Structure formats: structure tokens, C-alpha cells
Structure 1
Amino acid sequence: MTHSFHVSSQERHLKWSQALTPTLTVPSGSEVSFDLLDGGHNQIRPDNEATALRDFNFEMTDPAFGPIYIEGAEPGDVLVVEILDLKPGDYGWTALLPGFGLLADEFEAETPQLKMWNLTDEGTVTRQGSKRKLAVLKPGVAVPVRPFLGVLGVAPAVPGELSTIPPYASSGGNMDCRDLSTVGAKVYLPVNVPGALFSCGDGHAAQGDGEVCGTAIETPMKARLRLTIEKAADWTLKGKKGLECPHYITPKKGREDIEEEVLADKGEYAALGIHEDIREASRMAVRGLVDWLQAEKGMTRVEAYMLCSVASKLRMSEVVDMPNYAVSCALPLDVFIDE
């Protein structure tokens, strides 16, 4: 039997801990809805756009909503999180914040910067023959609205308090993986403590792989998830019980999704960073794409960097030919909607 429960925007925490008091206790298989503040704790809104970055408090970022105690969950089990529905807010934001982002040292002179996105039906556009909303960066440049949750996690395996900002192998958290938690996906998380103590948050309307400027299209979100426990005995991978790190399954594509991709596909432009340090290879790739967007598309450095953060694909393209690694940063050319 499916049960329905709700977590309000007031029921949040800024640390992961085994000692948190559960907001809800639910049976395995329950559906839970959430009202989520954005990853900036709703500190940035259309009504305070002029002063939001000046007053921004980093210590309030990445709130997680919960935690939820799932009956029957024991250490070694697996929590299956099914993403049933996600509804972004009417607005979103992308920011360059001082000291934050893959190329933070190269954008010191341009920070802070803020882009507010209008995510209402009136503020978004669609391509001919498509139903998908596109969020407009500037005239002629728009990215598909593709909601997902940046934060999905359980109580950690160690005692004490852990920040909600980084992700953790044993418990998930702020993973910011755009394929992991779209509608229709299933996420598998290791259970470390009785009840699992699951929380989520950090709604994104769109994000590129890497979230390279430090922010995506951050937005408040209404979410509906199903939480199910699978016992450790049913999860044996190469003789190991349960999981050592999060796993996920992406949703199947329907015919409409495939037709829409074919309709919109103009190919990609990519820069390839090659370096013995993976981070430097990534920086080289992003820098190359930013340079190309400035030179060939007439974008400012800030616009180009933000576009890479919300729409590009930063990928490990080659890792075996030591001593150098190759990292690609690719941008779908269909973001240029007037070409």
C-alpha cells in the first residue's frame, strides 16, 4: 500500500548527522512530497535581486530537507529513491560568487555576478514542433528546462556533523549529477544507520555536467519521491553486501523524447583539455569553450562561463594513456535558437 507524507520548507538542516531527529517516520514504499527552498536557502529572489549577492551568506547554502526515518531500514540495506515528479519555481538564478567555481581565480574581476531566469510560461520559449520549455539566457540563447535535485542523501557512516556542501561516497548528499535525479530516475543509496534518515534538496531547473561556475539554474522546487528499502541480502555485488557508493538508473526515453532530440540536434562544439592533473585538464577544457563562445558567438566572458555551467557536458574522455588525462567540455549547439 502506498502512503503519502509531506515535508515542508521549514523542516531543513545544514549538517548531515546520525543524531538528527526525524521529521517523519514512514513505511517502506511511501510517497513523500517536499516543498524545497533553493540551494542558496532562497537568499536570492526577484524581489531582492539588486542586493542579494552583497548580503549572501555561504553558511546557509545547500539546505537538506528532512530527515525521514524509513521503517525497517538497517545498516547494509539499500534505499531506493524514485523521482516521481519535480516542479521548478517561477524563477531561477545563476551566480558567479567570489572564490567559487572551476575558474574562480580567472574571474575575480567579474565577481560577483547574477543572472535571474524567468521560468514562467511567459518567460520561457519553445522551439517549433517542441513542447519543452527553454530558459532564456539572452536573446537567441536558451537552454532546455530539465529539472533535477542536486541533494539526495542519508545519514553518514561516521558520527559527528558533516557539511551539506560536498558529496560523500557512503551517503550521497550534494552530488549535483544532472542525470541522477530527473523525473523517472531511480537512485540507490547505502543505508548507514537504522531508518536511513533520508533528506533531499537543491532544486535545479537546468545544469551542465560539472556545474563549472559553481551554480546551475538554482530554483525552489516541489518534489514527489517514493522511498523503498531493499534488504542487504538482495544486494550482493561481487560478494559484497549492499553498496559502497550511490548508483542510479536513468529513465527510459519515449518516442516523443527521441523525436524532440532529433528535431533540436545541431551537434556539439567541444574543447579538449589535456594535462597530467585532471583538474587542470578540466580547467583547460572549460577555458577553451569560454574563449570560443566569446570569439565566435559574441558572448561576454561572464555569459559564456554561465552558459557552460548550465548547459555544457564536462566529461572524462580519456584516462588510461599516462601521464596525461583528456577532459572534454562540449556544448550542444541547439542552445543557439535563432541559427
Structure 2
Amino acid sequence: MAHQTHHITYSAENSHLRWDNSLKPILTIPSDSEVTLELPDGGGNQFDAFSTTESITSFDLAKADPAVGPVFIEDAQAGDVLKVDFLSLKPMDFGWTAILPGALNFGLLADEFPDPVLKIWDLKTHASEGYTEFKEGIHIPIRSFLGVVGVARAEAGEWSTIPPYETGGNIDCKHIMEGSCLYLPIKVKGALFSCGDGHAAQGDGEVCGTAIETRMTARIRLSVIKGKPWIKSPNFETSGVKVKVWDTKGEYAVLGVDADLREASRKALKGLIEWLVAEKSLTREESYILASVASDLRIVEAVEMPHYAVACILPLNIFVGSP
């Protein structure tokens, strides 16, 4: 018999900003239940469709990365695994990407981009065609996913929702889209599952510190799995279904080489920004934002010490009408 579906709205009472295994569940469900959640964006809904760069001055980092939950799953015990099936992910009509200033700036090149910038994206006009427009001639595929997905940690106390953990959290993995499933190691009775931080698109690395952040309605199925002790961190499985893309035009990539993996990543990103400014006539700030939502950082060499090689890769099919 199919279990009843459940609906959770976003509110202060139904969300939290810290992982804490003493939190009271907002919902208790049997395994294999479906839940629909109305989720906030990663900024805690502090921006709207009419916000401007000036709006960043009132941004409160203490409200960032709220998670809706926790949900208690019956029969879930420490040592089990929680399977999260992403059945539907629907973004709101708008999203935002920001270069945040000062202590708010999580970007890979925070030292080079000290000034705030806020871009508001229209996620409605071309939604049926599967993309949002960065600017004329540059289209970004909408590939929705949740940045924050996790279960409670075994350790007592409060743990920020901003970083990722072995139990999930702010993993920001763009590959766990609709149709995919995520496996999380359960550390406490009931699992205490929470999620949030909707994204309409992101590159691997989220290099400027934000993706296309958006509020999201997510329909998921939560199932307890026994006997998989090898799952000790988030594992995921993609659907194999190809998302809609335009004519494949290949990729442009810059390699960063350095003995420090982070510095190699920075060098690759800097090189891609320089290419975008020189060849695509974008500003440095536009290039940084575009790289965050569309380019992928990839380790291409990790054994020939003392140097690592990291590629910053941009798909050329985002440039519509370009040769």
C-alpha cells in the first residue's frame, strides 16, 4: 500500500540554521514516504525579483542556508542508510547570483573581487525552453537541484548548515538533479532529515560563492535501507537521462598548475576569466558570475608531484549564435 504524501511549507517553525540531533521533528513518517517541501533559497529569501546590488548592504549571513526539517523517519537507526529520491524540483520564477563583499565573500577569488554585485535572473520567460538568459547571446541551461540535503550528525550540539559534512548538508552537488537519488549514512535514530538551498544552475565549484539561488518546491521520497555499511559519506546515483542541451559546440578550458590544489584552481579560474573578458567582451564581474553558474573545476592531474593540474571548463553551447 502506498504511503500518504506529506506537504511542508517554509516557516521559522519548520526550519533551522544548525544541524542539531536534539531538534524536535516537524514531521514523522514511515519509510518510503513521499514529501513535498516548499524550500527557501540559500540566502533565506532575503532578496526578491526587484532587489539590486544595493540590497546586499542589508544581507545577513546569519540567515543563510536555512534547512527545512527535521523529518523523523520511522525504523531509521544509526548505521542504516537514507535513500533520497528526487522526484520533482521546480524553481521559482526568479533567482539571484551575488558577489558578496568582505567577510560574506566565499568566492575562490574573494581577494580580487571585493565589491558587491547582485544579478537577478528571469527563470520564467524561457523555462519551457529549458534555459535562462545571462545576457543577449548567452543562455544558461536550467538544471535544478538542492544545495543543502542532509541528516543529523551523531555529535551533540549545534553545527552550522553552511559547510558540508559526511552526513550531507551544504554539498552543492549539481549532479543530484531530478531523477537522481542520494544515499546518506544515518547517525541517529529517525535520521532527522532536512533540506533547502534551491539552485537553478551551478558549475562544479560554485566559484564566486553563489549559484543561481532560488526558492524551490521539491517532491522527494525518503526510504530507509539496511545493510550498506560501506556508505560512510554522501553517495549519489544519476538517472542516466540526458537533460536538454543545445547543439554541442565543445568546451573551452584553462589549466591551472600549482603545488597547492586550491591555488591551481584559482589559476585556472583566473585564466578563464581573462579569456571571457578578451574573447567574449564581458566585464571581469560578469565573467566571474558566469564561471560560477556554468563552468566546472576538474582535477585532471593529481599524481605527478609536486604539481596538481586543475581545469576550469566552460561549455561553448551557452554562447548562442557564436561560431
Report TM bin, short chain: over 0.9
1:3-35 Cα offsets, whole Å, 9 max, x none, are 201111111100001111001000000000000
Q: Give the match for residue 296 of structure 2.
A: 313
SS at the partner of 1:104?
A: coil
Q: Give the match for residue 95 of structure 1.
A: 98
Counterparts of 1:240-319 in structure 2 under 5 Å?
241-253=229-241, 257=243, 260-261=244-245, 263-319=246-302
Counterparts of 1:34-45 in structure 2 under 5 Å?
34-45=37-48
5+ unaligned residues in a row in structure 1: which ranges? 126-130, 236-240
Cα distance between partner residues in 2 of 1:250 and 1:132? 22
| One of 142, 146, 149 as aligned partner of 2:146 | 149
Give me the identity figure in percent: 52
Counterparts of 1:1-339 in structure 2 under 5 Å?
1-10=2-11, 11-49=14-52, 51-98=54-101, 99-108=105-114, 111-120=115-124, 122=125, 124=126, 132-169=129-166, 171-180=167-176, 182-231=177-226, 234-235=227-228, 241-253=229-241, 257=243, 260-261=244-245, 263-339=246-322
- Residue 313 of structure 1 deviates from its aligned partner by 1.0
Contact 1:3 1:29 in 2 (8 A): no
- Residue 337 of structure 1 deviates from its aligned partner by 0.8
For these two proteins, the number of residue pairs brought into alignment is 316
SS at the partner of 1:307?
A: helix
- Residue 50 of structure 1 deviates from its aligned partner by 5.5
SS at the partner of 1:42?
A: coil
- Residue 2 of structure 1 deviates from its aligned partner by 2.7
5+ unaligned residues in a row in structure 2: which ranges? none
Contact 1:77 1:242 in 2 (8 A): no
What is the identity, as a one-letter code, of the residue corresponding to 1:105?
A: D
- Residue 198 of structure 1 deviates from its aligned partner by 0.2
Contact 1:271 1:328 in 2 (8 A): yes
Cα distance between partner residues in 2 of 1:178 and 1:47? 26
SS at the partner of 1:45?
A: coil
What is the identity, as a one-letter code, of the residue corresponding to 2:52?
A: E
Cα distance between partner residues in 1 of 2:280 and 2:198? 29
